[in-house]
Amino acid sequence: MLIHGGSFNPMKALVIAVLLLALAFGASSETAFFSLNRFQLRRIKERYKTAYGRIRTLLARPSRLLIMILLVSELVNLTISSLVTGTLEQRFGGGTHTANQWYLITALSLAINLPLLVVIGEITPKIIAAKMNRIVALVNSGPLYLLYKILLPVLWVFDAAIGFVLRSLKAEGRDHLSKTMSVLSEDDFVLLMEEGHREGTVDPGERKLIKNVFEFDDSTVSEVMTPISQAFSIAANARVIDVMPEIRAQKFSRVPVYGKSKKQIVGILFVKDLLALRNHPGLAETEVKSLMTRPMHVGPNMRLSLLFRRFRESKSHMAVVVNPVSHVRIRQSESGHFDEEAIGVVTLEDVLESIFGEIADERDVLV
């Protein structure tokens, strides 16, 4: 009893204090060990080889480590609750109690146990461990490793039983946690990259490239396209002889071709086709529309990663970005008419520049 015959019982208070420390130890260990990332483990390996060996052993079978922490924590919880409840029963005279006395004992037990177990034994140590997980893991690794070795036979039994239950339920095996922990997440990779940048092992160009790669899958066509009002285009019914000077001046290898207005892109002209036919006697009077090819249409919200795959599959380098409403009509119409409203054009170069930054312009490639 904490209070026996009106006097304080230091022995029982000491036992409860030790048990609370054990509970806090387990709670902090759980948070610290399971929040360590590869970068932190590598730092521990470089500076604290002995502690790293213990941590590596404990994390080799994370299911057993978790079982041990939860098993010990539950035993400590039950012991503290029993001591507090027993003390309250003795305080009310022991023996048989009335219903009202039991209600009071239960209420007082909850009022005492909740702050002790939840606030002091669980929440506070977990918050501390979350903020200082590497330090807590280093400090706790010794006692935890010793306890692990002592309880290993018991842990093996529990681990086998849990594995049997998971297999019976056709759930993921007990090694799934280990596999999950071995996966380097995007956040971990970015953390490694930023640390390397601060230490000078990753230069600014490499850092920007890595960030662009991670952002690539989230970027859309609308972010890199050239608005149709700013894009160079030529009329479909124009004669080649009339547009050739302007095409040479612009020096693009592909040129959008419009119909009634510049928002009605009806094709793509490959300038190399003009160069191949430049000695043809009838080329000068030929209309552009007879040389153009059908354009690929994409929506402004298409992911760049998907557009890149579309470019590769179709072996195209330019696509027309159309209004989302008219983009639906493209799939529904089989008339062959190109009356969708174009809002921009996007090229393979635009997609690649979203990763690698500014690269040689198409103008530098043409004659």
Mean pLDDT by 10 residues, the chain (367 residues): 53 87 93 86 88 91 90 90 80 65 78 85 92 92 93 90 79 51 59 69 72 76 89 88 83 87 88 74 77 88 89 88 64 48 89 75 43
Tell me the CATH architecture of domain 221-364.
Roll (3.10)
Looking at the DSSP bridge assignments, the partners of residue 342 are 322
Q: Which pLDDT belongs to residue 333?
A: 41
Three-class DSSP category at 226? strand
Q: Which pLDDT belongs to residue 201?
A: 66
Q: What stretch(es) of the chain map to CATH 3.10.580.10?
A: 221-364
| Cα angle value 52/55/58 (rounded, 5°) | 150
Distance CA 74, CA 13 (A): 19
Burial class (CB in 10 A: 0-12, 13-18, 19+), 225: buried
Please, which residues have CB within 8 angstroms of residue 305's CB and are 6 or more apart in sequence? 216, 217
Q: Which pLDDT belongs to residue 98?
A: 66
Distance CA 315, CA 36 (A): 45
Q: Which pLDDT belongs to residue 171?
A: 55
**Are the C-beta atoms of 123 and 37 separated by less than 8 Å?**
no
**Are the C-beta atoms of 247 and 232 separated by less than 8 Å?**
no
Q: Which pLDDT belongs to residue 38?
A: 77
Q: Which pLDDT belongs to residue 71?
A: 92
Looking at the DSSP bridge assignments, the partners of residue 220 are 303
Distance CA 352, CA 159 (A): 50
Nearest residue to 350 via CA among 315, 311, 296? 311
